[in-house]
A = this chain, B = another copy of it.
C-alpha cells in the first residue's frame, strides 16, 4: 500500500502553508529549517505532486497544496482539539482555576494573551481572576486555597512555594512630577531620592519592599517614606510633588495621570514578576496554565530563556520524574 501520512508532516505542512516561509515555520515549530524542507519533500513524495512552488526567495502554494491545506486544516485542528480535550479530561484540567493578581503590572505585558491561550487550549476549564489586597502575608491566600495561582512580583523565597514562569522583566523607572528637576534627567539613581519622600506600599512583607526599593541609599541616606493606599493615590501625590514613586516602565500603560513623568533608574536591576503557587497544590490545571504562560511568552518574546527557562526547570521537570 502507499506510505501512510503522519501528523508530524501535516503540522509542518500547515505551518508552512500559513507562513509561506520555511524559516519562520521552522521557528514556530521549534525544529530545524532543513527538517522543514525534508518533511515537505517527503510529504510531496507521498502525495505524488508538488505542494509548494518555491525559490530561495519566494514560497507559494501550488493549486494542489492549496487544496490540501484548505481541506485538511479543519479536520486536523478538530483532531488536535478533541485529543487535547480528552487529555484534559484524563488529567483533570476542568472546573475552575482561580488566579490572584497582585497588581496589574505584575501580570506582565502578555497577560491577556496568556489567558486566551489557556482558554483556547482548555475550554472546559474556567479561569477566575481575583484581585488581591496588599497584605504582609499576601501568599496566605494560596495557602488558604482562596486562589490556585498568584501573579506576583519577585522575589518570593518561601520554601513551600513554587515559582513558575516569569511574566515580566522590566526596567525600573521613577515617577516624578513634571516640574521636578529630576524630570529633565536622562536617568536617575537611587541616591537622587535622598532628599525626597518615596512611596511605600502599606502592609507588605519587608523582604518585598526592600527588594523593590532599598530602605537606605547607596551613600547611606535613610529615605523618608510615605505609605500610599492605592496607585491612583500615589499618582496624585507624585503629581503634587509630594513623593516620588519607583515602579516599572509599563506602569504608565495602566495608570494615566497628567503631571507625572517616568525617568529610568539606572542603578536598580530590572524587576521580575512571575506565577507562583503552593508546591503542595501542584495539579494538572496549574501546570497547564503555567505551560500556557511559558509558551505564550516564549512565543511572544522569541526568547526561550526568559519564560520557559524557569518554568520548565521547576514546574515541568518534576512531573516527568513522577
Chain A contacts with B in 63-117, Cβ cutoff 8 A: 64, 67-68, 71-72, 75-76, 78-80, 82-83, 85-87, 89-91
Copies of the polypeptide in the assembly: 2
By the criterion CB–CB under 8 Å, are A6 and B5 in contact? no
Nearest Cβ distance between residue A81 and chain B, in whole angstroms? Answer: 9
Assess A48 versus B87: contact at CB under 8 Å? Given A71-B82, A79-B75: yes
By the criterion CB–CB under 8 Å, are A68 and B48 in contact? no
Which residues of chain B come closer than 8 Å to A10, judged between CB atoms? 79
* A8 at interface, CB cutoff 8 A: yes
* A2 at interface, CB cutoff 8 A: yes
* A11 at interface, CB cutoff 8 A: yes
Nearest Cβ distance between residue A264 and chain B, in whole angstroms? Answer: 36
Which residues of chain B come closer than 8 Å to A291, judged between CB atoms? 1
By the criterion CB–CB under 8 Å, are A83 and B72 in contact? yes
* A47 at interface, CB cutoff 8 A: yes
Assess A89 versus B75: contact at CB under 8 Å? Given A4-B8, A11-B4, A83-B5: no
Nearest Cβ distance between residue A294 and chain B, in whole angstroms? Answer: 9
Assess A2 versus B82: contact at CB under 8 Å? Given A48-B284, A284-B48: no
* A225 at interface, CB cutoff 8 A: no
Q: Output the nearest chain B residue to A9 by Cβ-Cβ distance.
A: B7
Which residues of chain B come closer than 8 Å to A89, judged between CB atoms? 49, 64, 67
* A200 at interface, CB cutoff 8 A: no
Chain A contacts with B in 42-71, Cβ cutoff 8 A: 46-49, 64, 67-68, 71
* A295 at interface, CB cutoff 8 A: yes
Q: Give A299-314 as 1s and 0s: 1 = Cβ < 8 Å from B's Cβ atoms.
A: 0000000000000000
Nearest Cβ distance between residue A25 and chain B, in whole angstroms? Answer: 16
By the criterion CB–CB under 8 Å, are A49 and B91 in contact? yes
Identify which of A10, A67, A87 gathers the most chain B CB atoms within 10 Å of its CB.
Answer: A87
Which residues of chain B come closer than 8 Å to A86, judged between CB atoms? 47, 64, 67-68, 71
- A67 vs B90: C-alpha distance when bound (angstroms): 11
Which residues of chain B come closer than 8 Å to A90, judged between CB atoms? 47-49, 64
Give the interface of A toward B (CB within 8 A).
1-2, 4-8, 10-11, 46-49, 64, 67-68, 71-72, 75-76, 78-80, 82-83, 85-87, 89-91, 284, 291, 295
If A1-B295, A5-B83 are given as contacts, then 14 extra A-B residue pairs at C-beta distance below 8 Å, sorted by A number, are A1-B291, A6-B8, A10-B79, A47-B86, A47-B87, A47-B91, A64-B89, A64-B90, A67-B86, A68-B82, A71-B82, A71-B85, A75-B75, A75-B82
> Could you give 26 example pairs across A and B, Cβ below 8 Å?
A1-B291, A1-B295, A2-B87, A4-B7, A5-B80, A5-B83, A6-B8, A7-B7, A47-B83, A47-B86, A47-B90, A48-B91, A48-B284, A49-B89, A49-B90, A49-B91, A64-B89, A64-B90, A68-B83, A68-B86, A72-B83, A75-B75, A75-B76, A75-B78, A75-B79, A79-B79
